[in-house]
Chains A and B, each alone.
Chain A
Amino acid sequence: GAGVSQSPSNKVTEKGKDVELRCDPISGHTALYWYRQSLGQGLEFLIYFQGNSAPDKSGLPSDRFSAERTGGSVSTLTIQRTQQEDSAVYLCASSGRNTGELFFGEGSRLTVL
């Protein structure tokens, strides 16, 4: 498909386990964002990649969170030693222009038991 693809769509894990969430952006889009959406909290910025520039990691909530983007395309968000407060929907978005028009995937819903 031509849209942003995220996997898995749902993930249930036990507290303390590591999880990896994957994002496949729209082909040709140089910018990639990760946001977290919790109930009633809106979208919380996590990290931003733009081309080959150093990523803006200012939104990562703790050192348990990390993300990488390989070859300027696919991105993986990793959460180590998951906690219950990590339960949320993790949304990925990509953009081809520096104007704020983002194309979002449908999200990965993470539940930490």
Chain B
Amino acid sequence: QKEVEQDPGPLSVPEGAIVSLNCTYSNSAFQYFMWYRQYSRKGPELLMYTYSSGNKEDGRFTAQVDKSSKYISLFIRDSQPSDSATYLCCNYGGATNKLIFGTGTLLAVQP
């Protein structure tokens, strides 16, 4: 079992839709939970960052962490074609300083 599991997609939605991206993890030592966004042929960039269970909102983006079920979600409201990218969930913490990434979900928002 991988430490971080993520549905690779691709996920295609119409512009304006609400997008839900999900991730599960196995290591309860993880303390930090992040979503990175990667455009085609670019390096990933940090999108959202949370430390604890609960919700964190930033504009159209909401990150949700449920430590009891080891489940992480990213919601995108009013999705735009510019949101088309690969979204990587990432966990960090515990005994090492390695960031463990999921495989990424490819999202396409159709205009």
Contacts and interface: CB of A to CB of B under 8 A. Distances in A.
Contacts of B32: 99-100
Interface residues of A, number: 25
Interface in B28-55: 32, 34, 41-46, 49
Nearest to B99: A100
B69 interface: no
Interface string A65-107: 0000000000000000000000000010100001111101111
B39 to A, nearest CB: 10
A98 B97 contact: yes
A31 B97 contact: yes
Given A48-B97, A56-B97, A98-B97, A42 B41 contact: no
**Chain B CB within 10 A, most for which of A48, A91, A99:** A99
A50 to B, nearest CB: 7
B97 A50 contact: yes
A31 B99 CA distance: 12
Given A100-B34, A104-B43, A106-B41, A42 B102 contact: yes
Nearest to B91: A100
B63 interface: no
Nearest to A102: B99
A62 interface: no
A105 B43 contact: yes
B44 A101 contact: no
A-B pairs, 8 with minimum CB distance: A104-B43, A100-B92, A42-B103, A43-B101, A100-B32, A106-B43, A45-B98, A42-B101
Interface of A: 4, 31, 33, 35, 40-43, 45, 48, 50, 56, 58-59, 91, 93, 98-102, 104-107
Given A35-B101, A43-B101, 4 more contacts: A50-B97, A56-B97, A100-B93, A106-B41
